[in-house]
Amino acid sequence: MSSVTQNDSPGITRPQENEIASYAKIYVDCVPPGDVVQTLTDQIGKTRALIQSMGDRGGDLSYAPAKWTVKQSIGHLIDCERIFSYRALRIARGDSTPLPGFEQNDYVPTAESEKRTLSDLLQELTVVRQSTLALVRGLPAEAWSRRGSVSNFSVTVRGIVFTAAGHELHHYRIFQERYLPAIQTA
Protein backbone atom coordinates (compact mmCIF):
# COMPACT_ATOMS: atom_id res chain seq x y z
CA MET A 1 0.00 0.00 0.00
CA SER A 2 2.89 2.36 -0.43
CA SER A 3 1.57 4.01 -3.59
CA VAL A 4 -1.49 6.17 -3.89
CA THR A 5 -4.05 4.91 -6.38
CA GLN A 6 -6.61 7.37 -7.72
CA ASN A 7 -10.18 6.11 -7.57
CA ASP A 8 -12.81 6.95 -10.14
CA SER A 9 -14.39 9.34 -7.63
CA PRO A 10 -12.60 12.69 -7.67
CA GLY A 11 -10.25 13.14 -4.73
CA ILE A 12 -10.82 9.76 -3.13
CA THR A 13 -7.49 7.98 -3.17
CA ARG A 14 -6.41 4.70 -1.65
CA PRO A 15 -5.27 5.46 1.90
CA GLN A 16 -1.63 5.41 2.89
CA GLU A 17 -0.63 3.05 5.70
CA ASN A 18 -0.47 6.01 8.11
CA GLU A 19 -4.21 6.60 7.54
CA ILE A 20 -5.39 3.25 8.87
CA ALA A 21 -5.00 1.17 12.00
CA SER A 22 -2.36 -1.52 11.60
CA TYR A 23 -4.99 -4.26 12.00
CA ALA A 24 -6.97 -2.77 9.08
CA LYS A 25 -4.29 -3.33 6.45
CA ILE A 26 -5.60 -6.85 5.77
CA TYR A 27 -8.99 -5.31 4.95
CA VAL A 28 -7.80 -2.33 2.92
CA ASP A 29 -5.63 -4.67 0.84
CA CYS A 30 -8.83 -6.53 -0.20
CA VAL A 31 -10.32 -3.45 -1.84
CA PRO A 32 -9.85 -3.49 -5.62
CA PRO A 33 -8.64 -0.44 -7.52
CA GLY A 34 -11.38 1.94 -8.50
CA ASP A 35 -14.13 3.86 -6.82
CA VAL A 36 -14.50 2.74 -3.18
CA VAL A 37 -18.05 4.11 -3.03
CA GLN A 38 -18.96 1.97 -6.04
CA THR A 39 -17.30 -1.00 -4.33
CA LEU A 40 -19.48 -0.41 -1.27
CA THR A 41 -22.54 -0.17 -3.53
CA ASP A 42 -21.82 -3.32 -5.53
CA GLN A 43 -20.57 -5.65 -2.84
CA ILE A 44 -23.71 -5.76 -0.71
CA GLY A 45 -25.67 -7.47 -3.49
CA LYS A 46 -22.92 -10.02 -4.00
CA THR A 47 -22.74 -10.79 -0.29
CA ARG A 48 -26.52 -11.14 -0.04
CA ALA A 49 -26.61 -13.49 -3.06
CA LEU A 50 -23.83 -15.67 -1.65
CA ILE A 51 -25.48 -15.95 1.76
CA GLN A 52 -28.89 -16.65 0.21
CA SER A 53 -27.33 -19.46 -1.86
CA MET A 54 -26.49 -21.21 1.41
CA GLY A 55 -30.19 -21.59 2.24
CA ASP A 56 -31.91 -21.00 5.57
CA ARG A 57 -30.30 -24.06 7.13
CA GLY A 58 -26.86 -22.73 6.23
CA GLY A 59 -27.34 -19.74 8.52
CA ASP A 60 -26.99 -21.94 11.58
CA LEU A 61 -23.79 -23.68 10.46
CA SER A 62 -20.15 -22.80 10.91
CA TYR A 63 -17.13 -24.11 9.05
CA ALA A 64 -15.34 -25.42 12.15
CA PRO A 65 -15.96 -25.96 15.87
CA ALA A 66 -15.85 -22.76 17.93
CA LYS A 67 -16.22 -20.59 14.81
CA TRP A 68 -19.13 -18.22 14.34
CA THR A 69 -22.18 -19.40 12.46
CA VAL A 70 -23.17 -17.66 9.24
CA LYS A 71 -25.84 -15.72 11.18
CA GLN A 72 -23.31 -14.65 13.82
CA SER A 73 -20.90 -13.56 11.08
CA ILE A 74 -23.60 -11.45 9.47
CA GLY A 75 -24.38 -9.91 12.87
CA HIS A 76 -20.67 -9.14 13.17
CA LEU A 77 -20.70 -7.44 9.76
CA ILE A 78 -23.70 -5.35 10.81
CA ASP A 79 -22.09 -4.25 14.08
CA CYS A 80 -18.76 -3.41 12.44
CA GLU A 81 -20.41 -1.45 9.63
CA ARG A 82 -22.26 0.66 12.19
CA ILE A 83 -19.07 1.29 14.14
CA PHE A 84 -17.06 2.16 11.01
CA SER A 85 -19.77 4.59 9.90
CA TYR A 86 -19.99 6.21 13.32
CA ARG A 87 -16.24 6.69 13.39
CA ALA A 88 -16.24 8.13 9.87
CA LEU A 89 -19.08 10.51 10.80
CA ARG A 90 -17.36 11.79 13.93
CA ILE A 91 -14.04 12.38 12.20
CA ALA A 92 -15.62 13.80 9.02
CA ARG A 93 -17.43 16.37 11.14
CA GLY A 94 -14.17 17.48 12.74
CA ASP A 95 -14.72 15.83 16.13
CA SER A 96 -11.25 15.35 17.60
CA THR A 97 -12.36 13.25 20.58
CA PRO A 98 -10.31 10.02 20.61
CA LEU A 99 -12.58 7.08 19.82
CA PRO A 100 -12.20 3.76 21.63
CA GLY A 101 -11.86 0.33 20.11
CA PHE A 102 -14.34 -2.47 20.64
CA GLU A 103 -14.03 -6.17 21.28
CA GLN A 104 -15.80 -8.06 18.50
CA ASN A 105 -15.76 -11.30 20.46
CA ASP A 106 -17.85 -9.65 23.20
CA TYR A 107 -20.38 -8.29 20.70
CA VAL A 108 -21.19 -11.55 18.89
CA PRO A 109 -22.70 -13.52 21.81
CA THR A 110 -24.65 -10.57 23.17
CA ALA A 111 -26.11 -9.74 19.74
CA GLU A 112 -27.83 -13.15 19.68
CA SER A 113 -27.88 -13.10 15.87
CA GLU A 114 -28.28 -16.87 15.84
CA LYS A 115 -31.85 -16.39 17.15
CA ARG A 116 -32.85 -14.28 14.15
CA THR A 117 -33.82 -15.34 10.66
CA LEU A 118 -31.29 -15.18 7.89
CA SER A 119 -33.55 -12.95 5.81
CA ASP A 120 -33.98 -10.51 8.72
CA LEU A 121 -30.20 -10.27 9.19
CA LEU A 122 -29.62 -9.74 5.47
CA GLN A 123 -32.27 -7.02 5.41
CA GLU A 124 -30.58 -5.24 8.32
CA LEU A 125 -27.16 -5.59 6.68
CA THR A 126 -28.59 -3.97 3.55
CA VAL A 127 -30.19 -1.10 5.46
CA VAL A 128 -26.99 -0.45 7.41
CA ARG A 129 -24.99 -0.40 4.16
CA GLN A 130 -27.49 2.00 2.61
CA SER A 131 -26.97 4.28 5.59
CA THR A 132 -23.19 4.09 5.17
CA LEU A 133 -23.56 4.92 1.48
CA ALA A 134 -25.79 7.92 2.25
CA LEU A 135 -23.13 9.18 4.65
CA VAL A 136 -20.13 8.76 2.36
CA ARG A 137 -21.90 10.06 -0.74
CA GLY A 138 -22.67 13.25 1.15
CA LEU A 139 -19.18 13.89 2.45
CA PRO A 140 -17.52 17.09 1.30
CA ALA A 141 -14.22 16.47 -0.51
CA GLU A 142 -12.11 17.80 2.38
CA ALA A 143 -13.74 15.40 4.87
CA TRP A 144 -12.13 12.33 3.29
CA SER A 145 -8.67 13.39 4.50
CA ARG A 146 -9.71 14.51 7.98
CA ARG A 147 -7.81 12.71 10.69
CA GLY A 148 -8.86 11.39 14.06
CA SER A 149 -7.85 8.88 16.69
CA VAL A 150 -9.41 5.43 16.80
CA SER A 151 -8.08 2.79 19.20
CA ASN A 152 -4.96 4.92 19.61
CA PHE A 153 -4.32 4.91 15.84
CA SER A 154 -4.32 8.06 13.74
CA VAL A 155 -6.76 7.41 10.89
CA THR A 156 -8.53 9.31 8.14
CA VAL A 157 -12.12 9.09 7.01
CA ARG A 158 -10.80 7.64 3.74
CA GLY A 159 -8.98 4.96 5.71
CA ILE A 160 -12.13 4.08 7.63
CA VAL A 161 -14.27 3.84 4.49
CA PHE A 162 -11.71 1.60 2.78
CA THR A 163 -11.57 -0.50 5.96
CA ALA A 164 -15.36 -0.91 5.89
CA ALA A 165 -15.32 -2.01 2.25
CA GLY A 166 -12.40 -4.35 2.82
CA HIS A 167 -13.90 -5.83 5.97
CA GLU A 168 -16.94 -7.02 4.06
CA LEU A 169 -14.74 -8.30 1.21
CA HIS A 170 -12.62 -10.20 3.73
CA HIS A 171 -15.70 -11.90 5.17
CA TYR A 172 -17.14 -12.53 1.71
CA ARG A 173 -14.03 -14.58 0.94
CA ILE A 174 -14.40 -16.48 4.20
CA PHE A 175 -18.06 -17.20 3.38
CA GLN A 176 -17.06 -18.35 -0.09
CA GLU A 177 -13.94 -20.36 0.81
CA ARG A 178 -14.86 -21.82 4.20
CA TYR A 179 -18.58 -21.60 4.97
CA LEU A 180 -19.97 -22.56 1.57
CA PRO A 181 -17.93 -25.80 1.27
CA ALA A 182 -18.79 -26.72 4.87
CA ILE A 183 -22.48 -26.17 4.23
CA GLN A 184 -22.40 -28.14 0.97
CA THR A 185 -20.89 -31.15 2.76
CA ALA A 186 -23.18 -30.92 5.83
Q: Is residue 87 part of a domain?
A: yes
Over residues 112-124, the mean pLDDT reads: 97
pLDDT in tens, 53-97: 998 889 999 999 999 999 999 999 999 999 999 999 999 999 999
Percent of the chain with pLDDT over 70: 94
Q: Is residue 49 part of a domain?
A: yes
Q: Is residue 16 part of a domain?
A: no
Q: Is residue 6 part of a domain?
A: no
pLDDT band at 144 (very low <50, low <70, confident <90, very high): very high
For residue 133, what are the domain limits? Answer: 41-185
* Helical H segments across the chain, by residue range: 25-28, 36-53, 55-58, 70-92, 104-111, 118-137, 157-174, 180-185
Q: Is residue 146 part of a domain?
A: yes
Is the confidence at residue 8, as pLDDT, over 90?
Answer: no
Q: Is residue 109 part of a domain?
A: yes
Q: Please give the model's pTM, rounded to 2 decimal places.
A: 0.92
Q: Is residue 72 part of a domain?
A: yes
Q: What CATH number has the domain bearing residue 138?
A: 1.20.120.450
- Bridge partners of 99, per DSSP, are 150
